[in-house]
A and B are shown apart, each in its own frame.
Chain A
């Protein structure tokens, strides 16, 4: 049984890697966007496992985007290295901010992280000479000369790295630390868990992922602007994907991102106008009917059946 699981993994990964060989350019484009959102959704979920609801994904995404473009433009750093620097910059900012804000819990933490996005928008708008101000900056060419397959593979690599990171967080003692913090912080503290250290670690790691995804986004579209790079879409959409698929698990975000991404494309195809309303309705209904997400609901049903049969 265990071997079957690995066979499934190998088949899925092989299909994903070979996707550009059998799919058209448009599906590759759509898949690249879905993979980016998958990485964001999963990174958001990793921090949520410690009970911290972050609404600052757009902030780190934007920092990654801007760092990538500015290092590439000003220091002629190669596109790939600039993306890495984007991730690192987001990580450093998360480390500094985390030292202050990770003392907060619940709604207070959520609101402060949401405010980060707006603070960075104001900073970027006012550093006109460096960032191009409200108008933004262009880079002269798209990464890999705009080759959609190469951009897809790069994004796939980042998504796979995020999935592996998520699994590491699930399979190591970090999982127990974060879960215990989420379930009962006082009990976790009494058990000798350094709550702050684990939360800070998760906050920085997830910010690095978000910064890298932002860097790829900037290199893919060759521009940054405060409104686009710090758009709240990069917070809300991954959050919806994770909630739909099921939080506190790797599979949940993967299913949520894939499901909503494909649904959005299908609806766009079926009804060029009004598809967003149906998309929103599906999301609301799914979250109302399956508050634990697709994965959580299926798991619950399986447990219920098992209990009933025994």
Chain B
């Protein structure tokens, strides 16, 4: 019995040895390729931050599908800043020390970014930021002994206003029926609105400007009747409100209630409420923005982004931070490709040289100095108008998608 078992065991051993000899020898596996790590910090509870992260993921997926950069895949690590300076600063520290990211990207609120700057400066890694428009952020960066590592793609607040000054001058010249001699600015009383009003007053030098603050619906306000009545008494050529998306509907309904329909009615929230374009009150409302969905008709990059985003996520991009997040990663990837390395010096040089003739936001992108820092990307925003539920581009004329509706139609005609 024991002999039988022994024979079977020997036979099995021989058989398995023969099989092993007959099989191809295992090839020694190459060590795994270390990914290039991008660390992003966004407010993920908000549509701007969420869609910005989606835009980044789309770009990373496309780049990795095409073989990565320098033969290495991109890895994106996104952290939530919860709109909190302390959380946003801790996120940068974690990305730097735990995840050991190569490059920082992302961004949204200026208040959060101000708290992140000391930590970013301590690590000194290349940072390409797409949020934080406040000139206070620019001053904080410029105050650092070295800020070569910092690239800012979003226009600064004063650049946005400079752009609109230029845009309105062009619009008034092309459409002489539009006048802009008197402007009333209703601004939310926080940093966003106050900065908007102060800069507008400084830059629209030839325009008589009056303004009044209001409490945004975001902070418990929402009754704009007093400020709207003040504006109506001023009888402006243009009424501009600087607030947030929850203010939009209230502003329109209450303007209608008091019969205030100035020739130009303009709102500048960072995003618009979902479905705003579908209500009749939105028709012919002007707005500022870095991007419009309608650009897919004039910009190949914007069109590519639009359809790729919908295909990947099953929803439409609803905020300019979606294409901006996409551009953020594409810009970094182009810089790494150009530098051929992740070393700081050559990478900074290469990023400085990156030029896109067209981008997902519909604008060309080049890096040039701003007032205080060396590496600024986009410098302008567009002048748009709600028409038939769409945000049509009125200016710049090179990418215009429609002619303006002027004057603002009477409320009873809607």
- What is the chain A residue whose CB lies nearest that of B114? A223
Instruction: Give the residue of A223, A275, A276 whose beta carbon is less than 8 angstroms from that of B140.
Output: A223
Q: Are B90 and A135 in contact (CB under 8 A)?
A: no
Asked if B364 is an interface residue, CB under 8 A from chain A, the answer is: no
Q: Are B97 and A25 in contact (CB under 8 A)?
A: yes
Residues of A contacting B: mostly: helix
**For the side of the interface on B, what is the size category?**
35 or more
Instruction: Give the residue of B44, B118, B191 whose beta carbon is less than 8 angstroms from that of A142.
Output: B118
With a CB–CB cut-off of 8 A, which chain B residues contact A30? 90
A199–chain B nearest beta-carbon distance, Å: 30
Q: Are B139 and A227 in contact (CB under 8 A)?
A: no
Q: Are B194 and A273 in contact (CB under 8 A)?
A: no
Q: Are A221 and B191 in contact (CB under 8 A)?
A: no
With a CB–CB cut-off of 8 A, which chain B residues contact A146? 118-119, 121-122
Task: Given A24-B98, A134-B194, answer yes or no on A221-B80 (Cβ-Cβ < 8 Å).
Answer: no
A229–chain B nearest beta-carbon distance, Å: 10
Asked if A20 is an interface residue, CB under 8 A from chain B, the answer is: no
Q: Are B190 and A272 in contact (CB under 8 A)?
A: no
- What is the chain B residue whose CB lies nearest that of A265? B90
Task: Given A135-B134, A272-B79, answer yes or no on A227-B119 (Cβ-Cβ < 8 Å).
Answer: no
With a CB–CB cut-off of 8 A, which chain B residues contact A221? 85-86, 89, 114-115, 118
Q: Are B90 and A226 in contact (CB under 8 A)?
A: no
How far is B122's CA from A221's CA once the two chains are assembled, in angstroms? 13
Asked if B10 is an interface residue, CB under 8 A from chain A, the answer is: no
How far is B117's CA from A140's CA once the two chains are assembled, in angstroms? 11
Asked if A222 is an interface residue, CB under 8 A from chain B, the answer is: yes
Task: Given A24-B98, A25-B97, A30-B90, answer yes or no on A225-B191 (Cβ-Cβ < 8 Å).
Answer: yes
Q: Are B114 and A226 in contact (CB under 8 A)?
A: no
- What is the chain A residue whose CB lies nearest that of B197? A134
A25–chain B nearest beta-carbon distance, Å: 5
Query: Binary interface profile of B, 25-63, with partner A (CB < 8 Å = 1, else 0)?
Result: 000000000000000000011000010000000000000
With a CB–CB cut-off of 8 A, which chain A residues contact B45? 273, 276
Q: Which of A95-138 contact B (CB under 8 A)?
A: 125, 133-136, 138
Q: Are B115 and A138 in contact (CB under 8 A)?
A: no
Asked if A304 is an interface residue, CB under 8 A from chain B, the answer is: no
How far is B77's CA from A12's CA once the two chains are assembled, in angstroms? 34
How far is B86's CA from A221's CA once the two chains are assembled, in angstroms? 8
Q: Are B114 and A272 in contact (CB under 8 A)?
A: no
How far is B363's CA from A136's CA once the two chains are assembled, in angstroms? 32
Q: Are A125 and B114 in contact (CB under 8 A)?
A: no
With a CB–CB cut-off of 8 A, which chain B residues contact A29? 89-90, 93-94
Q: Are A222 and B194 in contact (CB under 8 A)?
A: no
With a CB–CB cut-off of 8 A, which chain B residues contact A141? 118
Asked if A33 is an interface residue, CB under 8 A from chain B, the answer is: yes
B88–chain A nearest beta-carbon distance, Å: 10
Asked if A26 is an interface residue, CB under 8 A from chain B, the answer is: yes
Instruction: Give the residue of B44, B80, B121, B136 whose beta carbon is less than 8 angstroms from that of A135.
Output: B136
Q: Are B118 and A227 in contact (CB under 8 A)?
A: no
Asked if B162 is an interface residue, CB under 8 A from chain A, the answer is: no
Q: Which of B116-173 contact A (CB under 8 A)?
A: 117-119, 121-122, 134, 136, 139-140, 143
With a CB–CB cut-off of 8 A, which chain A residues contact B136? 135-136, 138, 223
Asked if B361 is an interface residue, CB under 8 A from chain A, the answer is: no
Query: Binary interface profile of B, 71-95, with partner A (CB < 8 Å = 1, else 0)?
Result: 0000000111010111001100110
- What is the chain B residue whose CB lies nearest that of A28? B93
Asked if B353 is an interface residue, CB under 8 A from chain A, the answer is: no
Q: Are A272 and B134 in contact (CB under 8 A)?
A: no
With a CB–CB cut-off of 8 A, which chain A residues contact B143? 138, 140
- What is the chain A residue whose CB lies nearest that of B139? A138
With a CB–CB cut-off of 8 A, which chain A residues contact B140? 138, 222-223
Q: Are B78 and A272 in contact (CB under 8 A)?
A: yes
Asked if A228 is an interface residue, CB under 8 A from chain B, the answer is: yes
With a CB–CB cut-off of 8 A, which chain A residues contact B117? 222
Asked if A299 is an interface residue, CB under 8 A from chain B, the answer is: no
Q: Are A134 and B80 in contact (CB under 8 A)?
A: no
Asked if B195 is an interface residue, CB under 8 A from chain A, the answer is: yes
Asked if B189 is an interface residue, CB under 8 A from chain A, the answer is: yes
Q: Are B85 and A228 in contact (CB under 8 A)?
A: yes
Q: Are A275 and B80 in contact (CB under 8 A)?
A: yes
9 closest cross-chain pairs (CB), A and B: A134-B194, A221-B115, A26-B94, A142-B118, A223-B114, A25-B97, A29-B93, A134-B191, A29-B90
Instruction: Supply 13 A–B pairs (Cβ within 8 Å), ascending by A.
Output: A24-B98, A29-B90, A134-B191, A134-B193, A134-B195, A138-B139, A217-B86, A223-B140, A225-B111, A227-B191, A228-B115, A272-B79, A276-B45
List chain A positions with a Cβ less than 8 A from chain B: 24-26, 29-30, 33, 125, 133-136, 138, 140-142, 146, 148, 217, 221-223, 225-228, 233, 268, 272-273, 275-276
